[in-house]
Structure 1
Amino acid sequence: MKNITILIPENAVLASVNDPRNIFTSVNQFLQAAGKPAAFRVQMVGLTKEVKLHDNIFTVHADAIIDEVEETDMIFVPALSGDMQTALELNKGFLPWIVKQYENGAEVISLCIGAFLLASTGLLNGKRCSTHWLSANEFRTMFPQVDLVDDKIITEDQGLYSSGGASSYWNLLLHLVEKNVNREMAIKVAKYFAIDIERNSQASFMIFNGQKGHEDDAVKKAQDFIEKNFEDKITLDQLSDMFAIGRRSLERRFKKATNNTVMEYIQRVKIEAAKKRFETSRKNITEVMYDVGYTDNKAFRSTFKKVTGLSPIAYKNKYNRSALF
């Protein structure tokens, strides 16, 4: 039987504490109903016995405090809410224990922006990690040594697991059910909780707002120019001349400030504009392609799918209300 420890941090998102408990206790119930032994022993563990969540609206009672748990097999780190620096400071008491348990062989699983707490242990340095797409820029700034993968629903690296944004952690929970029990049980759980078992990317949910939380004014001006003129053909040489910065220097500064090359940024701005047109207009694929400055149908479709994980027509059918009727 696997020992599961679900942490209850201060400022945790209640659903991300309760949902893993629901899934793994349900697995036990399904197994026992089939005359088989339970697969998991589930404990909810805090720094104190009573933990306040969501500005003291909810109180969660822990089964144990952290010092009472000498060993475990799987540790779940729920999503945090509010100011991240404050949340991490409130919960730093978990960090040495998480590191110790990992070194003793436990797997550690972060859900959504619980990745911030897991990354604070240092265990993710040099490893791949997912988190909510909206928190990607803040995460990269705080933890530059972690290889953040923007679009993935699930990452797994040397016994450290993480999930993408919000409800996507359900897919990570299903993955762990399949790994620790079997595929048949994972399918049963997916049907019981109405989860799309094959979802593996959060790219189609991402909204590109640009990365403006830096101090390089020249790069910000270049970003503004791109965002206002994305329908036109913009080149690196053009931007270099416009802002009197050497081509290589601009590329280096742009990549450092935004985590994108200039051409990648232009593509992201164009594709974000295309997404909005697909969501709100009745224009066809070719019309939208020309609207956002593409002239090559194949290049547009390829880039769109690379960024969103969906073809243009699949995206339009998914998000445009008129496509439903």
Structure 2
Amino acid sequence: MHNVTILGYEHAYASAITGALDIFALAGVTWQRMQGKPPERIFNVQLASVGKRDIECINHLTLKSQVAIEDVDQTDILIIPTIGGKLEEVLSANRNLLPFLQYFNSKGTDIASNCSGAFFLAEAGILNNKKATTHWGYAETFAKRYPQVDLLSNKLITQDGNIYCSGGGMAWFDLTLLLIERYCGHDVATNTAKAHVLDISRGNQAAYAQLRSKKYHQDAEILRAQEWLESNYHQPISLDQLANQVSLTNRTFLRRFKIATEQTPFSYLQSIRVEAAKKLLETENSSLEAIVTKVGYEDPRSFTRLFNSLTGLSPSQYRKKFFRTYS
């Protein structure tokens, strides 16, 4: 029997706690029952909190802890669920969790964070010089706050030694299945996924991300250039044309654009065109060639390569996954 401890705290996501509890507890149970075989529990799962206090989650659901984290000397897996409240407030109110994370890390425990739970691991210093991921929407904040962490924000799951991180708020099931596979093998993980109708290999969260406009800078001319690009991305665009829009020389425009947005003008333009294509793929039955033309490209093959590099999916795969059907 493998021991799993989920570390609860105020304003965590309830689903990231209860979902992981269910999947771990039912590994070796649900599938066996479906096959008419005796269930075989594989994981002993418990919810822990400081002082064994009840946990009021972000949706106001109160969960009862089974154990005080102070009394847990050994566990095979420690899960840090998603932060549901305001990051700064939750991190500040729960700094007493950090010594426990450091303690279990020193013992070589497998520690796994879901979504914004990675901020706790970074605050504890145990992500320094390690690969990690978090929700794509928090990636910029995370990277600025923890520059010593090797953040791979497109990845849905990362592993570096005994530390595991997962991306989106509902990525707890990807994380849980990965850990089940680590401890019990591929067959048990696959059967658990089948029993709960889960996709076992998503792997990437880039397709879910939206364009981060990067307009938090104070360069007025570059802001005007960004807004012009967002309105005219479907047209052929040259560097001369862009620089002229804001009355700058090409060299000055390139330098200031990169300082302001951390991208070149044309990588920014590519991101805008891919974002526009994503919206068309979600809502229209037009051919790929027609969509490529609408967003300002001429060669469907080169655009497909670009789309894949930014989203992790081909346009056809993206459409299959996200196309909106209405009755």
Alignment TM-score, normalising by the size of structure 2: 0.88
Q: Is the 8 A contact 2:154 2:206 kept in 1?
A: yes
Structure-2 residue corresponding to 1:66 = 69
Structure-1 residue corresponding to 2:153 = 150
Please tell me the residue identity of whatever aligns with 2:63: V
TM-superposed deviation, 1:22: 1.1
1:292-323 Cα shifts (integer Å, max 9, x gaps): 1111221111111222222222322333346x
Distance (whole Å) between structure 2 residues aligned to residue 6 and residue 146 of structure 1:
23
Structure-1 residue corresponding to 2:55 = 51
Q: Is the 8 A contact 1:128 1:148 kept in 2?
A: yes
Please tell me the residue identity of whatever aligns with 2:117: G
Q: Is the 8 A contact 2:109 2:162 kept in 1?
A: yes
Structure-1 residue corresponding to 2:179 = 176
1:274-308 Cα shifts (integer Å, max 9, x gaps): 11112222321111111111112211111112222
What is the percentage of aligned positions where both structures have the same residue? 34
TM-superposed deviation, 1:243: 4.2
Structure-1 residue corresponding to 2:6 = 6
**1:114 partnered with 2:117:** yes
What is the SS of the residue equivalent to 2:3? strand
Alignment TM-score, normalising by the size of structure 1: 0.89
Structure-2 residue corresponding to 1:302 = 305
Please tell me the residue identity of whatever aligns with 1:27: A
Structure-2 residue corresponding to 1:90 = 93
What is the SS of the residue equivalent to 1:145? coil
Structure-2 residue corresponding to 1:189 = 192
TM-superposed deviation, 1:60: 1.4
What is the SS of the residue equivalent to 2:27? helix
Q: Which has the higher contact order (CA 8 A, sep 6+)?
A: 2
TM-superposed deviation, 1:171: 1.3
TM-superposed deviation, 1:176: 0.8
TM-superposed deviation, 1:246: 6.6
| Unpaired segments ≥5 residues, structure 2 | none
Deviates most, 258-267 or 91-100: 258-267
Distance (whole Å) between structure 2 residues aligned to residue 47 and residue 160 of structure 1:
22
Q: Is the 8 A contact 1:32 1:38 kept in 2?
A: no
Structure-1 residue corresponding to 2:25 = 25
Query: Are residues 298 and 209 of structure 1, via their aligned partners in 2, closer, same or farther at CA, if it must alter by over 3 Å?
Result: same
Query: Are residues 11 and 290 of structure 1, via their aligned partners in 2, closer, same or farther at CA, if it must alter by over 3 Å?
Result: same
1:92-146 Cα shifts (integer Å, max 9, x gaps): 1111210121022112101112112222112212222222222222222322332
Distance (whole Å) between structure 2 residues aligned to residue 106 and residue 256 of structure 1:
41
Number of aligned residues:
323
RMSD: 2.7
Query: Are residues 262 and 50 of structure 1, via their aligned partners in 2, closer, same or farther at CA, if it must alter by over 3 Å?
Result: same
